[in-house]
Amino acid sequence: MNIRKIFSKLCQVIDFEPTPGIKLPNKSEYLILYPDRLVHGKIACGCGSTKLKHFCAPVNMGPFFYRCQECGVVLFTTDFISRQHTEDSMKNIKLAVFDMEGTIFRNSYRGQSYPSIWKVLCQMCGPDAAKEDAINTEKYLSGGYSDCYSDWVRDTLHILKKYGLKKLQFEAVINEIDYYQGVAETFADLHNRGVRIAVISGGLKALADRVAIDHYIDHCFSAAEFYWNLDGTIKHWNTQPTDFSHKRSLLEILCRDLGISADECMFVGDGRNDRDVAGFCALSIGFNPHDELRKDVDIVIEQNVGQENLSAILEPMAKYPNFEMQDFSGNKVWKEKVSLPPGIPSLTKSNNRLKFHTFLMENGLTHNSANSYCSYVNNLCKNIAEDSWEGATVKNAFSILEETAQLIKSEAEFIENLNQPLAGTSGRQNDTISAAKQYYRFVKGEAHA
């Protein structure tokens, strides 16, 4: 195949715009041709480095692209031996790493969009707090913190303490932030494949704890944790460097601990603060990403607002690294080939999560235990929908559960009626039974026995 035609087609997939007329760049330009340069059996850059990150461009019938992680130049090879060596050395994904806000959770609260949960909390503390937060954010963006994200976090925490953020307010926000559709399916699929999951976020530990508990995530890193006085005011906090370049640093530490290499890692994120960690991983996916991230990821998932579904990442992950031209619809944009599931029933969607969570805590459960019971009820309703119990679907599983609880006169009869979904595939049966009992008491307005 003519090399110019190959180059022209692949420019549609990688994020590279050639000069008019599809002129092949020379060595002084952005892209360099190395048809057969090898060092110790590995493709090497002109600077001598063999630390190359491949672009996920089609590899079955054509050239391969790499970016040198030392000098940043992009390499292009058509050499079959080089391609075969690289393909043979590919490893399966063993660790999937996720950003949190904008990737797992929606950047919105009660229907209003926010850039982060920090903004929600500052605005909740009043206009003066929001004004100080805006000044600090502008200071950070203009380099006033010398790129030290932790200093910005501490200043924001001081604002929240100064203007009286209360524990109950904080927990209400944490519990009401919505997951994207497809989160549960995605994590369940990765668990079934034996892939480890990590979350690395510049956000709040309480929100990361919610993900860990709801979806059994083993490794969660976040920037700040609150400590509270008995009267519900902020006593102090703990901060960690977990954003921007520190995301990559944390992942490198985790990989060393787990005995996993960068070639076995996948990253999914959406923001400019994900650029460094995306460059570290063998496969990086931008989930409806900001413009600043698009050039640093291998694949872009692009979905309409309101129709975002995280499970779209499972297709490219399953096919990695054997992508073909028809897998893409534009510059790195993955062409979704199957209709995505409509999501699963959740307490948040039923508008009952906060009420149920509050009921549990008022009746003696800890915050974390209440979170767990919310997750167990979600699993129960997923089973109800999957079994089509009493004609249930993903849209009405919670309403059917609630109506059944209202109609049945005893807890024992309620549990007996739920026998089939309680033994379903989602969640452990003991957990779903316990959750069903608690939900029955919640619907009936009864205290714990």
Mean pLDDT for all residues in the chain? 81
Q: How far is CA 237 from CA 227, 273, 335, 363, 366, in A?
A: 5, 23, 44, 28, 20
Q: How far is CA 157 from CA 128, 148, 397, in A?
A: 14, 15, 40
Region of poorest pLDDT, from 108-122, 331-345, 435-449: 331-345
pLDDT digits (tens, 9 = 90+) for 160-171: 999 999 999 999
Rg (CA), the chain: 25
Region of poorest pLDDT, from 123-132, 292-301, 326-335: 326-335
Count the residues in the chain: 449
Four-point Cα dihedral 96, 97, 101, 104, nearest 10: 10
Confidence of residue 330 (pLDDT cuts 50, 70, 90): confident
Q: Which of the 8 DSSP states describes residue 315?
A: H
Confidence of residue 288 (pLDDT cuts 50, 70, 90): very high
| 271 dihedral zone (left: phi>0; alpha: psi -120 to 50; beta) | beta
CATH numbers and ranges of domains, the chain: 3-88 (no CATH), 91-342 (3.40.50.1000), 353-444 (no CATH)
Confidence of residue 42 (pLDDT cuts 50, 70, 90): low
Q: Which of the 8 DSSP states describes residue 192?
A: H
286 or 332, higher pLDDT: 286
Question: Per-residue pLDDT for 68 more than 70?
Answer: yes
Question: Per-residue pLDDT for 448 more than 80?
Answer: no
Confidence of residue 346 (pLDDT cuts 50, 70, 90): low
pTM over 0.75: no
- Alpha-carbon distance of 349 to 413, in angstroms, equals 27
Looking at residue 91, its pLDDT comes to: 61
- Alpha-carbon distance of 106 to 220, in angstroms, equals 18
Q: Provide the token pair at 327.
A: 């897998």
Confidence of residue 372 (pLDDT cuts 50, 70, 90): confident
Confidence of residue 331 (pLDDT cuts 50, 70, 90): confident
Region of poorest pLDDT, from 35-39, 129-133, 216-220: 35-39
Q: Provide the token pair at 277.
A: 């960690």
Looking at residue 321, its pLDDT comes to: 81
368 or 287, higher pLDDT: 287
Most confident option among 36-50, 215-229, 302-316: 215-229
Q: How far is CA 9 from CA 20, 319, 334, in A?
A: 14, 20, 15
Question: ∠ CA(243), CA(296), CA(84), 5° rounding?
Answer: 125
Query: Mean of the pLDDT values across residues 287-303?
Result: 92
Region of poorest pLDDT, from 9-18, 96-105, 156-165: 9-18
Question: Per-residue pLDDT for 341 more than 70?
Answer: no
200 or 377, higher pLDDT: 200
